[in-house]
């Protein structure tokens, strides 16, 4: 028997439903969506962070009353360790500390197996779909075969505590854990030194580094007067505003990303995939799934700054048509700038569900959608199905939302025809999927 002590004390005084620390011993059976190990204690399900399937752990309950159906807990001592367990490289990735990383205590191959199992479980439970899933590694650079799972996140939002220190939040808490260095942050993010500076009057700081090497921070004020510390001269500084684009204090309002042989303007903290290899990987997967043909009509829903729209437009040609719909006005402005050389692309600004309802008679041969974490939901799914596309590429960052939307599509005569999963968020529980959906034969 192997004994591995992780941490022996947690401050539970502010956690609802736990009047005093409760210590339990749990056998971990499986992994659950959200980065937990799952076990049972006296018949009650317990979701245990910092544990792995096959382990026996001593855990402190962090959430759950005596009559609750389930508890949440942190593993503070491993009594019998999994062979997949490794020492977490980051000293903040432990009970009571940063909640950003879920699986630093597991080897990278084990992390991918766990994520694959979660995707399979969500598809089976929520959509009745049995599907073998393999989570593919994604290199940070073209010459990488694989990596250590660190240094990939090109956009990091730091919260600021009452002492003006930048940090990350504790799991399921508003408490800010000041940190000296985030190991999953890209070197370009770490080079700005956000963690080592004070941020008076600031609520949060988003640090962005682009594939072109540009660096930018977006400061969200917590009060009227904010003080922005000195940063390297080449770092652009923006201050968020309640309405409209952030105000530029220094430098430029946007960064330039490079992908698909094109340059992409992304304003402020606008959406762009945070893994350096994501844009190319996902674009290739979408094109492989849809196989757009010259002259076809396509829909790109939640189209952002136009990444997928451009790739599909190249395939359908000037005789085809791509309608890109996006609700974020800043992203729409960027998309119109980025795709100004593609007359076959029409960019529509507004909520996706409302735009689809308004243009309900529009035909689509192929559809790509990359909705937010909550998924597309019933109105959008139904509107897509009414257009009877021959292929749908669904890009999903949440397997539960994907499964629910696939279940909805099945009621309209569509079925899952292919699925690829990518490890775009190493050390966390997140996984990106590209699902191919076709009319049922």
pLDDT tens by residue, 16-32: 444 457 999 999 999 99
Q: What is the pLDDT of residue 21?
A: 73
Residue whose C-alpha is closest to residue 211's, from 135, 270, 285, 152: 152
pLDDT tens by residue, 136-170: 999 887 655 557 999 999 999 999 999 999 999 99
- pLDDT, mean of residues 359-377: 91
Whole-angstrom Cα distance, residue 32 to residue 30?
A: 7
> Can you say how many angstroms the Cα of residue 174 is from the centroid of all Cα atoms in its chain?
19
Q: How many CB atoms lie within 10 A of CB 205?
A: 23
Flag whether 414 is marked binding: no
Residue whose C-alpha is closest to residue 367's, from 279, 427, 296: 296
Residue whose C-alpha is closest to residue 100's, from 198, 164, 167: 167
Residue whose C-alpha is closest to residue 384's, from 358, 412, 407, 403: 412
DSSP for 155-197, please give it: EEEEEE-TTSBEEEEBTTS--EEE-S--TTB-HHHHTT-GGGS
Structure tokens given for 230: 């000195």
pLDDT tens by residue, 209-226: 999 999 999 999 988 788
C-alpha triplet 406, 303, 211: angle, nearest 5°: 115
Q: What is the pLDDT of residue 12?
A: 42
Whole-angstrom Cα distance, residue 223 to residue 217?
A: 18
**No. of H helices and E strands in the chain?**
8, 23
Flag whether 220 is marked binding: no
Q: What is the pLDDT of residue 17?
A: 44
3-state class (DSSP) for residue 129: coil
Q: What is the pLDDT of residue 403?
A: 98
Structure tokens given for 168: 């990350």
* pLDDT bracket for residue 185 (50, 70, 90): very high
Residue whose C-alpha is closest to residue 276's, from 152, 434, 143: 152
pLDDT at 436 over 80: yes
Among the residue ranges 76-90, 212-226, 379-393, the one predicted with the least confidence is: 212-226
The single residue of 98, 101, 182, 397 carrying the catalytic annotation is 397
Residue 394 bridge partners (DSSP)? 369, 435
Q: Is 332:347 a contact under the CB 8 Å cutoff?
A: yes
Q: Is 320:309 a contact under the CB 8 Å cutoff?
A: no
- 4 included as an active-site residue: no
Flag whether 370 is marked binding: yes
* pLDDT bracket for residue 363 (50, 70, 90): confident
Whole-angstrom Cα distance, residue 78 to residue 52?
A: 10
3-state class (DSSP) for residue 301: strand
Structure tokens given for 107: 């080897």
pLDDT tens by residue, 388-415: 999 999 999 999 999 999 999 999 999 9
Q: What is the pLDDT of residue 224?
A: 78
Q: Is 266:258 a contact under the CB 8 Å cutoff?
A: no
pLDDT at 13 over 50: no
Q: What share of the chain is helix, strand, coil (3-state, %, to 5)?
A: 20, 35, 45
- pLDDT, mean of residues 57-72: 92
Residue 287 bridge partners (DSSP)? none
pLDDT at 48 over 70: yes
Residue whose C-alpha is closest to residue 344's, from 375, 374, 317: 317
Calculate what percentage of the chain has a pLDDT beyond 90: 86
Pairing mode, if any, of strands 235-239 and 247-250? antiparallel
Q: What is the pLDDT of residue 16?
A: 42
Structure tokens given for 363: 């035909």
Flag whether 326 is marked binding: yes
* pLDDT bracket for residue 242 (50, 70, 90): low
* pLDDT bracket for residue 244 (50, 70, 90): low
User: What average pLDDT is seen over the chain?
Assistant: 93
pLDDT at 304 over 90: yes
Q: Is 438:123 a contact under the CB 8 Å cutoff?
A: no
Whole-angstrom Cα distance, residue 232 to residue 7?
A: 37
pLDDT tens by residue, 91-128: 999 999 999 999 999 999 999 999 999 999 999 999 99
Q: What is the pLDDT of residue 64?
A: 84
């Amino acid at each position: 028997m192997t004994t591995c002590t992780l941490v022996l004390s947690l401050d539970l005084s502010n956690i609802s439903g736990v009047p005093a620390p409760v210590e339990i011993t749990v056998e971990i059976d499986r992994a659950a969506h959200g980065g937990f190990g799952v076990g049972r204690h006296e018949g009650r399900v317990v979701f245990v962070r910092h544990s792995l399937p096959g382990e026996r752990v001593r855990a402190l309950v962090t959430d759950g009353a005596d009559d609750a159906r389930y508890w949440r807990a942190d593993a503070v001592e491993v009594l019998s360790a999994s062979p997949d367990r490794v020492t977490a490289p980051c000293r903040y990735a432990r009970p009571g500390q940063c909640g950003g990383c879920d699986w630093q205590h597991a080897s990278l191959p084990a992390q991918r197996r766990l994520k694959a199992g979660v995707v399979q479980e969500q598809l089976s439970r929520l959509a009745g779909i049995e599907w073998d899933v393999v989570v593919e590694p994604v290199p940070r650079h073209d010459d990488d075969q694989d990596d250590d799972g660190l240094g990939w996140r090109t956009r990091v939002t730091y919260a600021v505590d009452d002492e003006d220190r930048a940090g990350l939040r504790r799991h399921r808490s508003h408490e800010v854990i000041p940190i000296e260095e985030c190991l999953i942050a890209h070197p370009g993010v770490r080079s700005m030194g956000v963690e080592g500076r004070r941020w008076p009057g600031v609520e949060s700081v988003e640090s962005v580094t682009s594939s072109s090497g540009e660096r930018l921070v977006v400061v969200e004020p917590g009060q009227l007067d904010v003080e922005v510390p000195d940063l390297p001269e080449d770092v652009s500084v923006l201050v968020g505003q309640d309405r409209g684009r952030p105000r530029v204090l220094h430098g430029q309002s946007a960064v330039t990303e490079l992908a698909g042989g094109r340059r992409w303007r992304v304003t402020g903290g606008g959406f762009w995939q945070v893994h350096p290899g994501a844009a190319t990987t996902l674009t290739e997967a979408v094109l492989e799934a849809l196989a757009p043909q010259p002259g076809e009509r396509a829909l790109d829903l939640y189209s952002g700054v136009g990444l997928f729209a451009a790739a599909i437009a190249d395939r359908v040609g000037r005789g085809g048509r791509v309608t890109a719909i996006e609700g974020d006005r800043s992203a729409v402005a960027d998309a119109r700038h980025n795709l100004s050389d593609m007359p076959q692309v029409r960019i529509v600004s507004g909520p996706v569900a409302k735009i689809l309802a308004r243009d309900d008679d529009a035909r689509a041969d192929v559809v790509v959608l990359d909705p937010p974490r909550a998924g597309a939901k019933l109105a959008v799914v139904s509107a897509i199905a009414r257009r009877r596309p021959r292929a749908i590429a669904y890009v999903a960052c949440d397997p539960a939302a994907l499964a629910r939307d696939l279940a909805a599509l099945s009621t309209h005569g569509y079925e899952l025809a292919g699925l690829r999963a990518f490890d775009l968020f190493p050390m966390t529980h997140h996984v990106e999927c590209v699902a191919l959906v076709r009319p049922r034969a």
